[in-house]
Structure 1
Amino acid sequence: MTEVEGAPQEISDAIKRSDRNIIQTLADRNFVTLVELINIAGLNETLAEDGIYTVFAPTDEAFDRLPENAVPALKNNTPELRRVLTYHVVDGKILMENDIKNLESIRTLEGGELSVNVTATGIQIEGANITDADIITSNGVIHQIDKVLIPLR
């Protein structure tokens, strides 16, 4: 794999060393609901192929906190599911935790803007706490978050 354009050398080196893509890493780390929804939405190939992505990955517990019928409703509405999932993805950029701290907002693959708030306890993305940052994959980085991000209509 080539050096990641615009990324510091240590990040490029880390990505070169990672042999697991975003989908494989999410599965390895037990993001069961997220991986299932990515597969239903048909985004698994996109997030498994070469490319550079930053993914804000809600935990299973984050999905459990949604209203009772929210996940089944998303499973039955592929366009809306794709919209919600791509709101968690930044295409073409690797944003490490230190990069995110210096931003006010982040444009997503869905086209929306995620607000960034740095607090005394960490970083929030649209009110979701980053609970595990800088999970390196072969095609980007994952940040675990404790809330599902819902784009505005």
Structure 2
Amino acid sequence: MTDQTSETTETDVEQDATATPATDVTEAESTAEEGRKGNPEAAKWRTKFRDAEAQVTALSQRVTDLQRAEIVRQATGAGLLIDGDDVFRDRQLADLLDDDGNVDADLVAEAVAAVRESKPHLGKPYLDGDVGIGTKAASKPLSWADVIGG
């Protein structure tokens, strides 16, 4: 009886030894599949996070474009520069913003003055005196005799 019990025990141990790795492999495969699939809720949050990042990037670019457009508008206003983008020749956008990220009109004016001083041909020409546009002040009415030369 002892011989049969020992044979049975050895056989059972061999079967258990072969069965255990197979079970481990199956559990490992199922864990790997779950890892690849991921938690559906986590996937939903990752998607929302990516969408939010895309929106932040788009809105940040939009604000930058609006800030740049405002600087160009201020630089071309009041006869200052022909092309407002010339103010960015030696300055970056951040150089013309205040601490809160708003366009600083004083910094823009300084930048425009610096551009006009270093490269006057980039500024709009100053018009002094009578350049033949509009009505003339206090001129006497002409008669036909004045026009004909008489």
Bigger Rg over Cα: 2
Place the TM-score, normalised by the shorter chain, in its bin.
under 0.3
Structure having the higher strand fraction is 1
TM-score, structure 1 normalization: 0.22
- Greater percentage in helix: 2
